Structure 1
């Protein structure tokens, strides 16, 4: 069985609205289930690949600040 998680996640959300994408992210975080982490990673990869250098710097600043709590 050849299963590509990245493609499966993208396929499952590719036609979602912004509200649906937000619900997916919030639900995954609130559930606290480890099995949701790879899907969130795929979504972050899409965000990262489609962000400008300035947006990436802002995300890194937010991440750095969040990790210092």
Structure 2
């Protein structure tokens, strides 16, 4: 069976507006369930691909800080 997780996730959110997308992200983070990680990964991939170099650097800076805080 060929399951394309990206396509399934994108299909599930294709009609969502900004508030629904935000609710999806917040809910996934608050629940903290492992099964939500692929969906967050797909959303991050979309953000990354739509971002310019400066925005990517800002995300990397924030990510680095978050990793340091989470592991200290």
TM-score bin (small chain): over 0.9
For 2:66 and 2:32, the matched residues in 1 are separated by 17
> What is the match of residue 46 of structure 1?
46
Q: Which residue of 2 aligns with 1:6?
A: 6
The 1-side partners of 2:11 and 2:47 are apart by 15
Separation in 1, partners of 2:48, 2:14: 16
Relative to the length of structure 2, the TM-score reads 0.92
Structure 2 spans left out of the alignment, 5+ residues: none
Runs of 4+ in 1 over 4 A off after TM superposition: none
Q: Which runs of 5+ in 1 are unaligned?
A: none
For normalisation by structure 1, the TM-score amounts to 0.95
Aligned position for 1:57: 57
In the alignment of these two chains, the number of paired residues is: 69
Q: Deviations over 1:7-47 (max 9, x none)?
A: 11111111111000000001111111100001100000000
